Structure 1
Amino acid sequence: MGLGDIRYEDVIAATEEFRRLGRDDFLQTYGFGRARSYEMVLDGLRYDSKAIAGVAHGHATGEFLRAGDFSGGAATVARCLRELGFAVETGETSLDRAALLERFRKLKVSRGPGHPDPSRHQPLSLLWAISREADERPRMTPWTQFRDEVGPLLVEFGLPNAKATPEYPFWHLRGSGLWEVQGIPPESAEQMPKVSILDAHHPQAGFKEEAAGLLRDPVTRLDAIATICETYLQDVDHQALFERTGLAGYTTAGNLVNPAEDESGGAAMDEHGRATGPAPRRHTTRSVIVRDEALARKVKELEGDRCQICDTALRHLDRPYSQAAHIRGLGRPHHGPDELQNLLCLCANCHVLFDGLEIYIDPDGLVRDTRGDREPHLLRRDPGHPMDEAHIAYHRNLCNLNARKPAVG
């Protein structure tokens, strides 16, 4: 039975029970959470619209619907109540960074038979969608593309023996309040559409505008990725997962590149394995970030061309040699600023370790090894060298996300 069985008097009966029990007891009794988007307004009082509709359905038919039995929203509950003459208003408060992360922590994930752990379908789908935001791709994705790209992820990184059903996160992520599905007719939206309906109507899904806007900020985006991984995907190989979901940029703080061994080809070899000619060349075109060389010289002068981590002073061609390393990387997806507060003076070795997320700076200014193999020591720093703790925290969060051991300062 659908919501069309509800009558005006059934809604009134539900509101009377709401007032008698009180909001919290009413919601708990009938298995609903607080409204995130739509509230029914009657005589100056506000009611959780989906809960009212579920209980009204019980008064009408004897079958009390719970939250998981039907979908809420403008096309279902709000439409039904408005057609009966009730006022329904948007009651959702403006989303901020803290609320966004809290919703990621409290996804309505299912637990299937034989699987005590929460399903990974929604978290994996969200990481895939976040990678689209990081790459500045369209917010909404057609069902067929979602199916073809997310489906294999569910097979590879889902729970053992769990069935890959991309249609479930495509539809049920709406329960997070961060996701929307467009293109499903109202008459097919009262419950989860069958795959045949998705195939026939070609709907699109993706983050709501407000959530997508927040995720365009690199710091918020990293926090969102970390929240999802720490809450639902602790036992997954994060580096392998990031490679597959399009988030490979989060496996390094800089621009470390490990091309495939056969990518550049090879020189011709004789029977003894020795090259018979010069190394081959390959023409490429690429976009390069323009860095402020004056800033690089400044940080080296302030630190006397000595590595701030290991205190090494190198020389090359009889001159001091050091490298200016960005704490929060300049390129995608980190988009760090090219400023003195975002620079360290490092030797080449420590620069590679820092960009490779092998070492980080803790809140007390101690340099630590992510594997815990070395004793921590204080980062050397000239008093005239300003450093932004926000950039240091960003790098530290990257290390935490990629560390084999979960606790990173």
Structure 2
Amino acid sequence: MRIKDLTSTAAVEKALAEYDSRGGQAFRSRYGFGPSTQYYLSHAGRLYDAKAIAGVAYGYQYPSDGPLPHDKFSGGEAASSANPVLRAMGFTVLDSHSKTVEAERQWRLTVWENLLARQDDSGLVTADAVRAVGAYGNFRGIWTDKSRTQRIHPDGVTIGLKHTGQHYPDDLNENGVLYHYPVTRQRGRDLGEVNATKAAAALRLPLFVITEHGDRRGAKLAWVEGWEDRSSLFLVKFGDTSPVQVLDRDRSEEQPFELEGNRRRRRNGTVVTRPDQARFKLEVFQRYGPRCPLTGIAVPQMVEAAHLRGDADGGTSDARNGLPMNAALHRAFDAHLFAINPETLCAEARPGGPSLDDMGITQPKLTLERLPHSDALRWRYNEWLRYTGREGEVPADQ
């Protein structure tokens, strides 16, 4: 009983079919194999544990002998191992231990193709399908597999981000996710995972965002589009292509300001989607910091990005058309309970409405190092004057 006696492509194909029928975990368990940690057979867009397939295929070719046990042969690259035998029959065996960035990029795209091929009718896969190919592999939110990815970057490179939806459900949408930095008692490990995620952006490597749906998993191909350290946020976008530019710092002054223009659209004629909202929040935090300048609240989870010219009014997603505000004050701002005078930069309460004190505005004058664009402040103020019936007090073009 030697693995080099395996010569039947039909036997291998039967093993592949059984793997697909049973699922990888049940297949390996039945025949006593563990999941692959390095070598995978690639066939018809799917990945399989190379050694397990070879051992089971041997039993299909030699029924009287039965499957070849895992401890009776090697799954490596030696002449008497499974990989050369599979390749000799025309099958492709891939090494997941990438030595270059380009090889790692191709490996991750191959993993993505495999996950797509293994989706059920709901677009979900088994938890084993995710783990078996290394798209995710531990209990923490950020998965780097540092022992493998350290070959291409000293900090390792993040492979998967797990989003349970329990703590920040609103930060996940169809376009991407605002992913919060890990905060645990293992501060050194937290920092390492943050640096590994930044490395994925720097190297233009995709990663996988994994979501839980009972015993099934959702998987999205994603890219780190930017980050903001003060608010401890990563901006991660879904899609097949990497971002043109990584938002690793405030870039709001690099382009001419235009007050109008966003990508607001409607899906199915009724549901409004805002694909720029997560990016807008990150860029507002990059420009001003995650602190409400009118109340002093500086808890990132309590601070939102408020548009001056609103998204519904065609306002741009440029950070200069925004301000960070605590969530309650943002609601008051959108309800026209107050506005900011573009000349004095001071908040003014709506006549007959709650006072600035009532709304918790303890710092009524904007004293930010960088201010919103004057056109945006002026547009919002004039809208507020019209809304409150005082539009004649200030010329619209002032």
Q: What is the TM-score normalised by the length of structure 1?
A: 0.30
The higher-RCO structure (CA 8 Å, 6+ apart) is 1
- The TM-score, its normalising length taken from structure 2, stands at 0.30
Indicate the structure with greater helix content: 1
